[in-house]
Amino acid sequence: MSPLLEARGLTTVFETRAGLLPAVRDVSFTVAAGEIVGLVGESGSGKSVTGFSLLGLIDPPGRIAAGSVRLDGEELIGLEQGRLRALRGRSIAMVFQDPSTTLNPLLTIGAQMRLALEAHGGRDASAMRARAIETLSQVGIADPAARLGAYPHQFSGGMRQRVAIAIALLNRPKLIVCDEPTTALDVSIQAQILSEMRDLARNIGTAMIWISHDLAVVSSIASRILVMYAGRVLETGPTRDVLSAPRHPYTQGLLDSLPAHATPGTALRQIPGSTPSLVDIGPGCAFAPRCARASEACASDPAESVAGNRRWRCHHPIAAVA
């Protein structure tokens, strides 16, 4: 069976004063129908740009320079704008990080949901209203019929994000790209929304790409993860395998810096150095300057290694645990 989404060699660049900035470099992955895939990386690793690239939402001076994204067999890169618009929201939707900036503050949430439904052929007012109420209750909004007339500022942060998720769900997309949707929320709300989204995805069969800088968040929701660094996917595999036995030193570094893995009372371990500037990124492994295992070989680009359902790019991978 062919996957729901297949990205091959996706490369997105931004033309800046300082030069061409490759934000996403040669990224390939697949998402199966109903699957939740986690996309982890530090800020600036290109994970959000990857998400926007999938929907064709890269604004100038950025552009998708190369690669292919197939959704249900249909090529999205270079697709005519009208057709792409018709797919957005209906086949592939997106939820953003900060719900206080994504919703239009001047429109009631009912009006905003109606706009999203009308964008995909919604005409009948009462049917649209019924669908809006149905999705609001799916995401756990109490008394949804009454809340349709409320404005975004009348909701708490967590409720606002639920509304944004409901808008993304309205047209029953096959895939939702969730760009750090819980990062701006309180930790307790975050856990609540995470578990609800996991159940929701299972119940309605929607696939998700869950983008986060937080390895703990991703590991709690995704069945498979991709670890991104400096625009590249360094390691991918089933979440449990990658977390229990990472092959790439960067993944190991991320794991070591998790508070749960630290001895109480000792300083948290961190990866030395900081993410490189993408403008003058060299040909070699981008993580090498911060890597304890780096050698001269790391000046050249590591090829992708494959073992079963796991892949990594490293000249000196951590040995597999038998």
Partner 1 sequence: MPGYALQRLAQAIIVMMVISVMVFAGVHAVGNPIDVLISPDATQAIREQAIRAYGLDQPLWRQYLDFLGRLARGDFGRSFLYNMPVLDLIASRLPATLELTLAAVIGATALGVPLGIYAGYRPSSILSRAIMAASILGFSVPTFWIGLVLIFVFAVNLGWLPAGGRGATVSVLGVEWSFLTLDGLRHLLLPALNLSLFKFAMMVRLARAGTRELMLTDTIKFARAAGESEWTILSRHVLRLIAIPIVTVFGLEFGSTLAFAVVTETIFSWPGVGKLIIDSISSLDRPVMVAYLMLVALLFIVINLLVDLAYAALDPRLRAQHA
- Contacting positions for partner 1 (CB under 8 A): 52, 55, 57, 59, 85-90, 93-94, 96-98, 101-108, 115-116, 118-120, 151, 153-154, 164, 167-168, 170-171
Write out the DSSP string of 207-218: EEEEEES-HHHH
Shortest Cβ 52–partner 1 spacing (Å): 8
Shortest Cβ 168–partner 1 spacing (Å): 7
Write out the DSSP string of 288-302: GGG-TT--GGGGSPP
User: Do the beta carbons of residue 218 and residue 210 sit within 8 Å?
Assistant: yes
Helix (H/G/I), strand (E/B), else coil: 221: helix
Measured from the CB atom, the residue of 13 and 116 that comes closer to partner 1 is 116
Measured from the CB atom, the residue of 117 and 285 that comes closer to partner 1 is 117
Measured from the CB atom, the residue of 177 and 243 that comes closer to partner 1 is 177
Write out the DSSP string of 20-72: EEEEEEEEEEEE-TT-EEEEE--TTSSHHHHHHHHHT-PPTTEEEEEEEEEET
User: Tokens 């998708």 correspond to what residue?
Assistant: 64
Residue 175's φ and ψ, nearest 5 degrees, are -140, 135
Measured from the CB atom, the residue of 78 and 149 that comes closer to partner 1 is 149
Shortest Cβ 230–partner 1 spacing (Å): 24
Shortest Cβ 234–partner 1 spacing (Å): 27
Write out the DSSP string of 244-271: HS-SSHHHHHHHHTSGGGSPTTSPPP--
Residue 263 CA: distances (Å) to CA of 214, 215, 243, 259:
19, 18, 18, 8
Shortest Cβ 106–partner 1 spacing (Å): 5
Return the amino acid letter for 203.
Answer: N
Tell me how far apart the alpha carbons of residues 296 and 99 are, in angstroms, rounded to a whole number: 46
Shortest Cβ 256–partner 1 spacing (Å): 33
Shortest Cβ 105–partner 1 spacing (Å): 6
**CA quadruple 25, 29, 34, 36: dihedral sign:** negative
Measured from the CB atom, the residue of 98 and 256 that comes closer to partner 1 is 98
Measured from the CB atom, the residue of 106 and 267 that comes closer to partner 1 is 106
Measured from the CB atom, the residue of 42 and 98 that comes closer to partner 1 is 98
